[in-house]
A and B are shown apart, each in its own frame.
Chain A
Amino acid sequence: MKRVYVNEKWCLGCHLCEYYCAFAGTNETDMARALKATIKINPKIKIEEKDGVSFAVSCRHCKEPLCVKGCITGALTISADGVITINHDRCVSCFTCILSCPYGAVSPSEDGAVQKCELCVKTAKGQPACVSGCPNGAIVFEERG
């Protein structure tokens, strides 16, 4: 399946992926209108940076997803084509997935559930917004072995 891959060699630490991600999560068509009132965004992809090294981390869509296997409610599921999504209605915010994810890619959301990258399958943006928003090709969406 196509996954989001990150190459830190090209990450500029500009954080734009986070903003495009947060924007994709809204239903707005204009980023300024979507995020103007937001003091601090809560994206599903997050930059880690230190001493000139930076890279974006989002859900790896593991083949053996510990978050899905550990989910106590069945809110996290893996689809036939390998995309791991969260059903916000079913999530009770027990954070077992946060406890389980070896990448730290699951985080609390504002609506009382947890959130994670769903490859923009619910946002109808065609490809993940972080990928199209990355100015330097550091985040790509492709098939790899």
Chain B
Amino acid sequence: MAINFLYPDYEVARNCDRCIVCRACERQCANEVHEYVDTLNKMVCDDAKCVNCHRCVSLCPTRALKIVKSGNTYKENMNWSGKTINEVYRQAGSGGVLLSSMGNPEEYPIYFDKILLNASQVTNPSIDPLREPMETTVFLGAKPHNIERGEDGRIKNNLPPQLKLSMPVMFSAMSYGSISYNAHESLARAAEELGILYNTGEGGLHEDFYRYGKNTVVQVASGRFGVHPQYLNSGAAVEIKMGQGAKPGIGGHLPGAKIVGDISRTRMIPEGSDAISPAPHHDIYSIEDLRQLVYSLKEATDYKKPVIVKIAAVHNVAAIASGIARSGADIISIDGFRGGTGAAPTRIRDNVGIPIELALASVDSRLREEGIRDDVSIIVGGSIRSSADIVRAVALGADCVYVATSALLALGCHLCRSCHAGKCNWGIATQSPELVKRLNPDIGYKRLVNLMTAWQHEIKEMMGGMGINSIESLKGNRLMLRGVGLNEKELSILGIKHAGE
């Protein structure tokens, strides 16, 4: 066998004084890292197979396991990091494009962490959300510019279709195929209980989940998989996916091996055929083309459902958003470069797109400048990690946020970033039945509800501290934000002052 140059990234550290050889680690590792040796009555490990997903660590009943970073090092080099060297070795061995999963993990600025929130002192009272009303409900959709009256003088209802959410959060698009049936069920049930929405992604909607339609955003993407009239009308809104933060400019590819059974039926493509989503929509080469699709979908849904257009945050995002706002879309969704994925070429994921904070600020400013901000609502996603990120996003101008990675973490994901291998030990990013059953939706949905309920409490607390009692009053309220360690240009794009100013 040729030398592959690659040394394991992680080591499984087993405390043999605590290991009782129950073999739970062995039974639960789809990567076959652990093995029982009966002649020794001991467990042994193959570290090279470990993806650091912590399934074994979590299940070990005696806390005998931990995963540590391999101590193996190359000669120190600030230019040639170990990771860079390993990627060269890997490609020299395979000849292939590097694949990655989940969001961009590289060391770029995280603007959310450089923005601080305000609080009331002396001159304006803060509000205790436990004692006084605090509104987190939001409505998404175009808002009418003026009041229209009928011949009888009564106000005409000229409100376009709206989405009502109990809090400014939705679960963002993850297709049935990229995540499991049980993950979808968990998201759907949680959305229903929370009074928010989840998103089908480009995989169609499993017939079992039509019952959650009121809490579902159905997506139409470049592959148009699983799209039919009943599908479009089953959801509360339709989302046209133009791009995705994790892989702006490229399409998707679900290998034929995963197109089996229900997934094939739901996507409406033959079993075993590759599901290729083209990079562009082949019928959209302009805002006018986009408008055609927006109105096709509105026509198909009898103008009763808002249409969302989702784009990746890229360099000229503000101009693109302006065009989308004029295309007839009700809602624009912008996905930042930290957004996750089930699989993307590493180079794209780690090098393309811009931070959501900057994209959001510039889109909001641009639409205001053009007087069309009320024509659309803005949803942002791409690494909303906490309730504080939501508050920042809303203050920067968002109507609502999309969360996916946080939701997956609630379901058990440990961000091992090996989704593309299809052997998710947590039953999320896999279609293998014995792995899928590891995610019991009864448990999963409850954890999602817990997380969002906790965030809602925190949002109320932070808003109360600022003396604000509704999301509407926080929206675009950039005075509530101050930057730390940001330069003039960054502050000006974000439209916020520096701390101390």
Contact = CB atoms under 8 A, between A and B. Distances in A.
Main secondary structure of the interface of B (DSSP, over half): loop
A12 interface: yes
A12 to B, nearest CB: 6
Interface in B438-461: 438, 440, 442-443
Interface string A1-34: 0000000011011111001100100000011100
Interface in B49-66: 58-59, 61-64
Given A14-B59, A52-B433, A19 B20 contact: yes
A52 B438 contact: no
B437 interface: yes
Contact of B434 (A16, A36, A38, A52): A52
Contact of B438 (A15, A32, A36, A136): A136
Contact of B437 (A10, A16, A23): A10
B110 interface: no
A13 B24 CA distance: 9
A136 B438 CA distance: 7
A10 B440 CA distance: 7
B69 interface: no
A36 B15 CA distance: 12
17 contacts: A12-B27, A12-B28, A12-B438, A14-B27, A14-B59, A19-B61, A23-B61, A31-B20, A32-B62, A32-B63, A36-B18, A38-B20, A39-B41, A52-B433, A52-B434, A135-B58, A136-B437
B443 A16 contact: no
Interface centre among B22, B59, B64 (most CB of A within 10 A): B22
A32 B20 contact: yes
B23 interface: yes
Main secondary structure of the interface of A (DSSP, over half): loop
A108 interface: no
B434 A32 contact: no
A16 B59 contact: yes
A31 B440 contact: no
A50 to B, nearest CB: 13
Interface string B16-33: 011110111001100000
User: Considering the complex of A and B, which 9 residue pairs feature the smallest CB-CB distances, nearest first?
Assistant: A32-B62, A32-B18, A35-B20, A137-B440, A19-B22, A10-B440, A14-B24, A31-B62, A136-B440
B190 to A, nearest CB: 16
B22 A15 contact: yes
A131 to B, nearest CB: 13
Contacts of A9: 437
Contacts of A135: 58-59
Contacts of A19: 20, 22, 24, 61
Interface of B: 17-20, 22-24, 27-28, 41, 58-59, 61-64, 433-434, 437-438, 440, 442-443
A82 interface: no
A133 B60 CA distance: 11
Interface residues on A, range: 20 to 34
B28 A36 contact: no
Given A31-B20, A52-B434, 17 more contacts: A9-B437, A12-B27, A12-B28, A12-B438, A14-B24, A14-B27, A14-B59, A16-B22, A30-B62, A31-B62, A32-B20, A32-B62, A32-B63, A35-B20, A36-B17, A135-B58, A136-B443
Nearest to A53: B434
Contacts of B28: 12, 14
A32 B442 CA distance: 30
Interface centre among B17, B24, B28 (most CB of A within 10 A): B24
Contacts of B64: 32
A36 B20 contact: yes
A12 B22 CA distance: 14
Contacts of A52: 433-434
Nearest to A34: B20
Contacts of A20: 61
Contacts of A136: 437-438, 440, 443
Contact of A16 (B19, B24, B433, B440): B24
Contacts of A10: 437, 440
A128 B241 CA distance: 49
A99 B447 CA distance: 44
Contacts of B434: 12, 52
A30 B20 CA distance: 12
Interface centre among A9, A19, A133 (most CB of B within 10 A): A19
Nearest to A31: B62
A72 to B, nearest CB: 36
Interface string A30-67: 11100110110000000000001000000000000000
Contacts of A133: 61
A135 B296 CA distance: 47
A15 to B, nearest CB: 6
Contacts of B19: 32
Nearest to B22: A19
Contacts of B59: 14, 16, 135
A52 B432 CA distance: 11
B24 A15 contact: yes
Contacts of B41: 39
Nearest to A138: B440
